[in-house]
Amino acid sequence: MSESMESRIHKMYMQDCIFAWFDVALLWASLAFVLYAVLGIVQDPNIRLALYVSCGVVVLYNTASVLAMTNHYAEDKEFIYGLDIKHLDANKALSKK
């Protein structure tokens, strides 16, 4: 594989990782904000506990899924991104005609 192709693959992989983890951070922030806002009006301790647990489960599973996704992408990035780059290059060549 050429140096150019490897650098393009790595660049696409890093962009995907950055966006994925940025989305996880946004999810954490939005759930924290919503939890904070809702807890101000919820007085029942059982409902509060359910809110804490459900937010924790959502954040835990989403974070774990993004971690698994980025690890899988790292293992197969030559295939995943190489195919994308070949299609992008082919489309670019067709659009120039």
Q: What is the pLDDT of residue 16?
A: 93
Task: List for the chain the helix, strand, coil content (%; round to 5).
Answer: 90, 0, 10
Q: Report how far residue 89's alpha carbon sits from residue 7's, in angstroms, rounded to the nearest whole number.
A: 15
Full-model pTM = 0.78
pLDDT, one tens digit per residue, over 37-92 is 999 999 999 999 999 999 999 999 999 999 999 999 889 888 888 888 888 888 88
- Strand spans (E) along the chain: none
Q: What is the pLDDT of residue 69?
A: 94
Locate tokens 């924290």: which residue?
32
pLDDT, one tens digit per residue, over 6-42 is 888 999 999 999 999 999 999 999 999 999 999 999 9
